[in-house]
Chains A and B, each alone.
Chain A
Amino acid sequence: MSVETVTPAGPETAARPMDLLRFATAGSVDDGKSTLIGRLLYDTKSLFTDQLAAVEAVSAARGDEYTNLALLTDGLRAEREQGITIDVAYRYFATPRRKFIIADTPGHTQYTRNMVTGASTADLALILVDARKGLVEQSRRHAFLCSLLRVPHLVLCVNKMDLVDWSQEVFERIADEFTAFAAKLDAPDLTVVPISALQGDNIVSRSENMTWYEGPSLLHHLERVHIASDRNLVDVRFPVQYVIRPQSTTVTDYRGYAGQVASGVLKPGDEVMVLPSGFTSRIASVETADGPVAEAFPPMSVTVRLEDEIDISRGDLICRPNNAPVVAQDIEAMVCWMDETRPLQVGGRYAIKHTTRSARAIVRGLHYRLDINSLHRDESAGELRLNEIGRVRLRTTVPLLADEYRRNRTTGGFVIIDEATNRTVGAGMIVDTA
């Protein structure tokens, strides 16, 4: 070989056996959210000196009295000029146990849209409150959106404990109030941690200023919170993404269904049903580019081959005969509207993307609009504007293969697209199918 390339002899698996946790942060700059993220990045050595130097230089030039860590994530020109955060920013750090992806959602502009986006893929949501102020309207709104999006784990960080004299009483009052509120929301696993992001208390290691607190530090919790059982390993749902049919002389008669396992476990020999046709067959093999595997489970991307030749194409779904999603054209869903130009209106027609399936839909009804601060239902509402949430009835042109969102985030969620502008204008979570 004439070309000089290097193939180093890597160890069998150089990757540490570490898993992945995605979390969303909610709170405004005033709550110390950027300071907290900066602290997590810094203390896990994920913040680089050139990034820090750039932020220090810009802070100094702007006359900020302290290094404004918000500048780390506010990367866009308009954000720095206006001092606001426009969009969800993704940040990365890792410890030997876990890799973390932070979806950092801004507290001010377009709040709901960004929070819903960040929460949609999150295993955990981190909500910040200022210990001096306690729970505010925004904290309740954050908690509600996390529960709507079914984020499995919630962490409330009571920040700025240094400014309330590390008071156990203050902390417990806020923790109790939030726990009571979260119970009403059917919120899942909840942990409350007293912290000082500025001084680093209870971030990486336990605080010496709050010896009364017996729980874990924030990072300790993030590293160890058990997320493996959040995945649904019971209901087999395999949306077909793409049919692999090599046009090749060496591989002939190959037909495989490529996709990512949404839930359940698929094994060779399993009896399966294909929707919407209802045909049944057995799994002949489950394959990856590295060879066949004994079983596939979420979030693996694999190729499934069946024993029988049946007509299957993108948008179809493989499940088990005795455990199938509904095949429905009438959908009841909670919809969060995300478009500033035009509201959702009854009678409106849109495109829908649900799993790997696309359809058109007409809005048949708007039952109510939800006030996300009071949870009051306004049944007289005629439309949903930007950042508003309501319960909507849709009729689709082709059936969706759907589960309730609370059972399955993949087969229960969909996006709404404006057919004229192609913009993503809404997010839907299926509550019922009829």
Chain B
Amino acid sequence: MTAPAAYQVSHLDALEAESVFVMREVVAEMERPVLLFSGGKDSIVMLRLAQKAFAPANIPFPVMHVDTGHNFPEVLEYRDQRVAELGLQLVVASVQEALNRGMVRESGDGMRNRIQTPVLLDAVEKHRFDALFGGARRDEEKARAKERVFSFRDEFGQWDPKNQRPELWSLYNGRHHPGESIRVFPLSNWTELDVWHYIARERLALPSIYYAHEREVIERDGMFYAVNEFFRPRAGEERFKAQVRYRTVGDASCTAAVRSDADTVEKVIEEVAATRITERGATRGDDRVSEAAMEDRKREGYF
């Protein structure tokens, strides 16, 4: 039989339906889910999907921010505002506190990306979370291209890429023993461009740094870093003002901006559609360490 054209759904609707399905599966089957909310665009989209999945009821789980202490103030404000609007419980896992307690030690380069992991795992254990929604997408990085939607973590929070559960149809296996957990990635099949199309369609507010603005930066390895209290220029690095925006928002000491005039969502969509560099490649100092930097961090329990 031939389906009338009316029964077709757009790719965004199909992606949304899949993500909503995934979130409902988690809430139906797991004991204590939590959503990792950084104030970044992917986690903002995830939060909207969570609203959609459970409306008219409230989002039935708390959100958690692993706070490196190196924040963009616009993002932190956004986080608090959004959490208040939705009446969510916010758990903050603080890297600074963990440093003060001596649980982790600052790394030589001052980047706090790697030391987030033990802080995250500690909070998971303390709150006995058994499912963690993360906004990671498979198009971001090649180690992520092979990760499941339901990604099993052992009692040490570790990912074993060679021992993943086959994932067939839409049958997700979230079974685990006490102490183990599942990372769940509802945006697995979304691309950066899909995320921006969805932000436009849903008219989602974002922290202002995602749009073009003038900022004092220095250039390092072809990337533009904002000069602020967490990022110190090296000798010989010249400060200058530039029109930039952030494609990703992470730790302020290792997230770089890109030159951009895109000050509206439509212009960002145009820019993202035309770009030939991946968002992590353009903006993340932490992924430049080695070919397997992401895989190694993930094995240790990173997002």
Of the listed stretches A84-92, A158-166, A266-274, A277-285, chain B binds A84-92
A409 cross-chain contacts in B, Cβ below 8 A: 169
Docked-complex contact A351 and B175, CB < 8 angstroms: yes
Docked-complex contact B265 and A14, CB < 8 angstroms: yes
Instruction: Confirm or deny: A213 has a beta carbon within 8 angstroms of a beta carbon on chain B.
Output: no
Docked-complex contact A117 and B278, CB < 8 angstroms: no
Docked-complex contact B278 and A50, CB < 8 angstroms: yes
Indicate whether A91 sits within 8 Å of B145 (C-beta atoms), given known contacts A15-B201, A77-B292, A229-B3: yes
Instruction: Confirm or deny: A254 has a beta carbon within 8 angstroms of a beta carbon on chain B.
Output: yes
Within 8 A of A (CB), among B1-46: 1-3, 5, 7-18, 20-21, 24-25, 27-28
- Distance (whole angstroms) from the CB of B61 to the closest CB of chain A: 13
Fill in one digit per residue for B138-174: 1 if any A CB lies within 8 Å of its CB, else 0.
1101111110000000000000011011111111010
Docked-complex contact A410 and B169, CB < 8 angstroms: yes
Docked-complex contact B7 and A297, CB < 8 angstroms: yes
**A241 CA / B198 CA spacing, docked (Å):** 25
Pick from A19, A72, A303: contact of B142, CB below 8 A: A72
Fill in one digit per residue for B271-303: 1 if any A CB lies within 8 Å of its CB, else 0.
000011110011000000001100110000000
Instruction: Confirm or deny: B197 has a beta carbon within 8 angstroms of a beta carbon on chain A.
Output: yes
Instruction: Confirm or deny: B188 has a beta carbon within 8 angstroms of a beta carbon on chain A.
Output: yes
- Distance (whole angstroms) from the CB of B293 to the closest CB of chain A: 11
Instruction: Confirm or deny: B191 has a beta carbon within 8 angstroms of a beta carbon on chain A.
Output: yes
**A349 CA / B206 CA spacing, docked (Å):** 50
Instruction: Confirm or deny: B78 has a beta carbon within 8 angstroms of a beta carbon on chain A.
Output: yes
**A242 CA / B194 CA spacing, docked (Å):** 27
**A280 CA / B266 CA spacing, docked (Å):** 48
Tier of interface size on chain A: 35 or more
Closest A residue to B50 by CB, please name it: A289
Docked-complex contact B265 and A8, CB < 8 angstroms: yes
**A422 CA / B13 CA spacing, docked (Å):** 32
Instruction: Confirm or deny: B77 has a beta carbon within 8 angstroms of a beta carbon on chain A.
Output: yes
**A130 CA / B16 CA spacing, docked (Å):** 39
B74 cross-chain contacts in A, Cβ below 8 A: 4-5
B143 cross-chain contacts in A, Cβ below 8 A: 75-76
Docked-complex contact A5 and B188, CB < 8 angstroms: no
B142 cross-chain contacts in A, Cβ below 8 A: 51, 72-75, 89
Docked-complex contact B169 and A14, CB < 8 angstroms: no
Pick from A8, A45, A300, A356: contact of B28, CB below 8 A: A356
Fill in one digit per residue for A239-269: 1 if any B CB lies within 8 Å of its CB, else 0.
0011011111001001000111000010000
Docked-complex contact A410 and B15, CB < 8 angstroms: no
Instruction: Confirm or deny: A304 has a beta carbon within 8 angstroms of a beta carbon on chain B.
Output: no
Instruction: Confirm or deny: A78 has a beta carbon within 8 angstroms of a beta carbon on chain B.
Output: yes
A1 cross-chain contacts in B, Cβ below 8 A: 81
Docked-complex contact B9 and A299, CB < 8 angstroms: yes
Docked-complex contact B266 and A299, CB < 8 angstroms: no
Tier of interface size on chain B: 35 or more
Docked-complex contact A427 and B166, CB < 8 angstroms: yes
Docked-complex contact A299 and B11, CB < 8 angstroms: no
Instruction: Confirm or deny: A48 has a beta carbon within 8 angstroms of a beta carbon on chain B.
Output: yes
Docked-complex contact B13 and A48, CB < 8 angstroms: no
Docked-complex contact B291 and A58, CB < 8 angstroms: yes
Pick from B2, B12, B189, B282: contact of A92, CB below 8 A: B189
Instruction: Confirm or deny: A63 has a beta carbon within 8 angstroms of a beta carbon on chain B.
Output: no
Instruction: Confirm or deny: B269 has a beta carbon within 8 angstroms of a beta carbon on chain A.
Output: yes
B133 cross-chain contacts in A, Cβ below 8 A: none
Of the listed stretches B51-59, B63-71, B231-239, chain A binds B51-59
Docked-complex contact B171 and A77, CB < 8 angstroms: no
Docked-complex contact B10 and A17, CB < 8 angstroms: yes
B210 cross-chain contacts in A, Cβ below 8 A: 6
**A254 CA / B58 CA spacing, docked (Å):** 13
- Distance (whole angstroms) from the CB of B191 to the closest CB of chain A: 5
Pick from A11, A76, A241: contact of B161, CB below 8 A: A76
Indicate whether A422 sits within 8 Å of B177 (C-beta atoms), given known contacts A14-B265, A117-B168: yes
A51 cross-chain contacts in B, Cβ below 8 A: 142, 278, 281
Docked-complex contact B281 and A417, CB < 8 angstroms: no
Instruction: Confirm or deny: A20 has a beta carbon within 8 angstroms of a beta carbon on chain B.
Output: yes
Docked-complex contact B169 and A120, CB < 8 angstroms: yes
- Distance (whole angstroms) from the CB of A125 to the closest CB of chain B: 15
Docked-complex contact A234 and B1, CB < 8 angstroms: yes
A54 cross-chain contacts in B, Cβ below 8 A: 291
Instruction: Confirm or deny: B200 has a beta carbon within 8 angstroms of a beta carbon on chain A.
Output: yes
Instruction: Confirm or deny: A183 has a beta carbon within 8 angstroms of a beta carbon on chain B.
Output: no
Docked-complex contact A19 and B9, CB < 8 angstroms: yes
Within 8 A of B (CB), among A83-125: 86-92, 94, 98-99, 101, 113-114, 116-117, 120-121
Within 8 A of A (CB), among B237-284: 264-266, 269, 275-278, 281-282
Docked-complex contact B77 and A3, CB < 8 angstroms: yes
Instruction: Confirm or deny: B228 has a beta carbon within 8 angstroms of a beta carbon on chain A.
Output: no
Instruction: Confirm or deny: A395 has a beta carbon within 8 angstroms of a beta carbon on chain B.
Output: no
Instruction: Confirm or deny: A423 has a beta carbon within 8 angstroms of a beta carbon on chain B.
Output: yes
**A270 CA / B120 CA spacing, docked (Å):** 48
**A20 CA / B162 CA spacing, docked (Å):** 29
Query: Among A3, A234, A354, which residue has the most Cβ atoms of chain B within 10 A?
Result: A3
**A192 CA / B142 CA spacing, docked (Å):** 31
Pick from A13, A229, A247, A259: contact of B1, CB below 8 A: A229
Docked-complex contact A7 and B205, CB < 8 angstroms: yes
Indicate whether A427 sits within 8 Å of B200 (C-beta atoms), given known contacts A72-B142, A288-B52: no
A14 cross-chain contacts in B, Cβ below 8 A: 197, 200-201, 265-266, 269
Docked-complex contact A301 and B10, CB < 8 angstroms: no
- Distance (whole angstroms) from the CB of A244 to the closest CB of chain B: 5
B199 cross-chain contacts in A, Cβ below 8 A: 10
Query: Among B55, B81, B138, which residue has the most Cβ atoms of chain A within 10 A?
Result: B55
Docked-complex contact A260 and B9, CB < 8 angstroms: no
Indicate whether A314 sits within 8 Å of B266 (C-beta atoms), given known contacts A10-B200, A20-B11, A75-B142: no
**A277 CA / B21 CA spacing, docked (Å):** 24
Instruction: Confirm or deny: A18 has a beta carbon within 8 angstroms of a beta carbon on chain B.
Output: yes
Docked-complex contact A94 and B191, CB < 8 angstroms: yes
Docked-complex contact A75 and B145, CB < 8 angstroms: yes
Docked-complex contact B164 and A228, CB < 8 angstroms: no
Docked-complex contact B17 and A260, CB < 8 angstroms: yes
Given A10-B200, A260-B17, 10 more pairs with CB closer than 8 A: A5-B205, A8-B266, A50-B281, A76-B161, A76-B292, A90-B145, A229-B1, A244-B56, A289-B53, A409-B169
Nearest first, the 4 A-B pairs at minimum CB distance are A75-B142, A50-B281, A14-B200, A10-B200
Q: Which residues of B does A touch, CB under 8 Å?
A: 1-3, 5, 7-18, 20-21, 24-25, 27-28, 51-58, 74, 77-78, 80-81, 138-139, 141-146, 161-162, 164-171, 173, 175-177, 188-189, 191, 193-194, 197-201, 203-208, 210-211, 264-266, 269, 275-278, 281-282, 291-292, 295-296
